[in-house]
Amino acid sequence: MKLAVVGATGLVGSEILEVLDEHQFPFDELLLVASERSAGKKMTYKGKEYTVIGLKQAVSEKPDVAIFSAGGSTSLEWAPQFAAVGTIVIDNSSAWRMDATKKLVVPEINAKDLRIDDRIIANPNCSTIQMVLVLNPLRLKYGIKRIVVSTYQSVTGTGKAAVDQMMAERAGQPAEMVYPHKIDLNVLPHIDVFQPNGYTKEEMKMILETKKIFGDNSIQVTATTVRIPTMGGHSESVNVEFHNDFDLDEVREILSNTPGVVVQDDPANNIYPMPLTAHKKDEVFVGRLRRDESQPNTLNMWIVADNLRKGAATNAVQIAEYLMEHSMA
């Protein structure tokens, strides 16, 4: 197994390396890949020094699997070149997610749809992953009619430069502006670019990706995505209307038995999901489970996950693990 991590010097890239180590992912050779300007840089991983290589050299090495976290334009240009030499690309960007010829995969939900000839596999958006992982078992039990989601997303979703902006502002120092406004002590109802319909690209990702992952265009989804000055994970307030009625105790039982989901729902003792406690965890946490008393068959919930983990690195590594376990890589 020759494994490449493309974008190894970035925030998600370093998280991918950490998850590979924690999961004891079996590889014989590791290629750390980045842009040409980072080629030649030295990195230490598990006590061994590696020299970062450029994309052109990485393609010539013909890795078995390449986990990409290097941005959409890089993925559009280079993923097909890796695929052409037989590499399976697992891509973290938005480049391939809505391509009808590419699978959009959350392993617990639809890895079974992967085939040996899938050379480019898309990792969903971080905020989409944590929501659909929780909703999927409830969808199978009760059927979903409509989802209303509002997100509270960490600055780490934008990258290191955004973290640097927030921390500089917090320290009262001049900051390189990644966002159009100050982020510390502020809330921005603006993630990615605004679209002609008034929604942001991030909001449309959640709407369209949810339908694709579930394979059900009849599910109505509306989203408001918001950036807040936190680190550690994304939070979501989710209101879901089912076709059939539910029992709250049964909902808790179903979610408690869902792989990758942890129920934290004891408000009497101030136990509920928070980014602070989800940080560096692979699981998705759900709590504040309660009926929407304004209409029938409707549930409110609060979902939190480390966006760099299950929202990116962990999901990508789990896809690679599935490919290995099923002799597809």
Annotated ligand binding at 37? The verdict is: yes
**Rounded Cα–Cα distance for residues 124 and 293 (Å):** 32
CA atoms within 13 A on the CB side of 90: 29
Annotated ligand binding at 10? The verdict is: yes
- DSSP run (H or E) holding 22: helix 11-22
- Token pair for residue 101? 């010829």
For 7, phi and psi rounded to 5 degrees? 95, 30
126, 181, 190, 326: which one is catalytic?
A: 126
- Burial label for 96, CB within 10 Å (0-12, 13-18, 19+), is buried
- Alpha carbon separation from 253 to 97, 148, 232, 263 (Å, rounded): 32, 23, 27, 9
Respond yes or no: is residue 126 known to be catalytic. Answer: yes
Annotated ligand binding at 307? The verdict is: yes
Respond yes or no: is residue 190 known to be catalytic. Answer: no
Annotated ligand binding at 11? The verdict is: yes
Q: Are strands 65-68 and 2-6 parallel, antiparallel or unpaired?
A: parallel
Annotated ligand binding at 153? The verdict is: yes
79 and 96 Cβ atoms separated by less than 8 Å: yes
Annotated ligand binding at 227? The verdict is: yes
Annotated ligand binding at 138? The verdict is: no
106 and 122 Cβ atoms separated by less than 8 Å: no
**Rounded Cα–Cα distance for residues 105 and 92 (Å):** 11
Sheet order of strands, 261-263 included: 220-227, 144-153, 234-242, 298-305, 284-291, 261-263
User: Residues with Cβ < 8 Å from 43, sequence gap 6 or more?
Assistant: 8, 9, 32, 49, 50, 52
Annotated ligand binding at 170? The verdict is: no
For 212, phi and psi rounded to 5 degrees? -70, -45
Task: Give the type of residue at 278.
Answer: A
**Rounded Cα–Cα distance for residues 118 and 58 (Å):** 20
190, 234, 243, 279: which one is catalytic?
A: 234
**Rounded Cα–Cα distance for residues 239 and 305 (Å):** 17
User: Which residues define the annotated binding site for phosphate?
Assistant: 97
User: Which residues define the annotated binding site?
Assistant: 9-12, 37-38, 97, 153, 227, 307
User: Which residues define the annotated binding site for substrate?
Assistant: 153, 227
User: Which residues define the annotated binding site for NADP(+)?
Assistant: 9-12, 37-38, 307
Tell me which residues are annotated as active site. 126, 234
